[in-house]
């Protein structure tokens, strides 16, 4: 079923159409259950899971009315930067990976940097994981707070997705 959602009239996906989109994209059951009965607008405004918002935008990147892959990358960088405080002093790979991703989006990274970026990004996750786990052990709400912070960063960086013109399907 193809629906049309013109930006000019402010029309967005209703709850049923949005649920169909999540199913089509193979969203996780938890996300689909949380979003059930909510329109795209409601989800975008209420979701406190930055990872879910990034996932949705990444899956729809390049579609008319949705953020570009570069926009999604920059939003992911904003979120990743919040974890840098958990990286042990002297471990620069996580910060360098984020900086490289930003340079890639700007077209300023070298080919060598671009090839090294995935390894550096993996190092980011490994370097931050123990400290993040320790922080989570000290504060039961640490994960929830971090996801909400990332959701706010995603909404700040990315406009709410909508189709831009009449006759455009999402």
Does one domain contain both 16 and 79? no
| The pLDDT value given to residue 61 | 92
- Can you give the residue range of the structural domain that contains 19? 1-46
pTM, two decimal places = 0.76
Per DSSP, the three-state class of 156 is helix
Total domain count, the chain: 2
Distances (CA, A) of 107 to 58, 71, 92, 112: 19, 13, 22, 13
> Which residue, 7, 45, 43, is CA-closest to 25?
43
| The pLDDT value given to residue 167 | 38
Burial 13-32 (b: 16+ CB within 10 A, else e): bbbebbbebbeeeebeeebe
- What gap in Å lies between CA 163 and CA 154, rounded to an integer? 18
| The pLDDT value given to residue 88 | 84
| The pLDDT value given to residue 169 | 43
Does one domain contain both 37 and 81? no
Residue ranges in the chain whose pLDDT is less than 50:
1-10, 163-170
DSSP assignment letter at 87: S
Tell me, yes or no, whether 162 lies in a domain: no
Per DSSP, the three-state class of 9 is coil
- What gap in Å lies between CA 44 and CA 156, rounded to an integer? 11
Tell me, yes or no, whether 15 lies in a domain: yes
| The pLDDT value given to residue 170 | 42
Does one domain contain both 100 and 133? yes
Does one domain contain both 42 and 118? no
> How large is the greatest C-alpha to C-alpha distance in the chain, in angstroms?
53
Does one domain contain both 100 and 36? no
Tell me, yes or no, whether 54 lies in a domain: no
């Amino acid at each position: 079923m193809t629906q049309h959602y013109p930006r000019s009239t402010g029309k967005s996906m209703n709850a049923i159409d949005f649920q169909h989109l999540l199913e089509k994209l193979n969203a996780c059951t938890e996300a689909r259950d949380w979003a059930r009965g909510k329109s795209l607008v409601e989800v975008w405004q209420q979701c406190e899971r930055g990872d879910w918002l990034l996932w949705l935008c990444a899956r729809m990147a390049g579609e008319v009315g949705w953020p570009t892959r570069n926009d999604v990358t920059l939003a992911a960088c904003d979120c990743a930067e919040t974890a840098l405080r958990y990286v042990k002093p002297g471990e620069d790979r996580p910060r360098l990976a984020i900086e490289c991703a930003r340079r890639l989006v700007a077209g300023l990274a070298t080919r060598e940097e671009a090839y090294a970026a995935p390894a550096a990004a993996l190092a980011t996750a490994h370097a931050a994981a123990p400290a993040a786990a320790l922080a989570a052990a000290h504060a039961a709400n640490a994960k929830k707070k971090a996801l909400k912070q990332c959701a706010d960063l995603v909404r700040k960086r990315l406009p709410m997705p909508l189709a831009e013109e009449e006759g455009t399907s999402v």
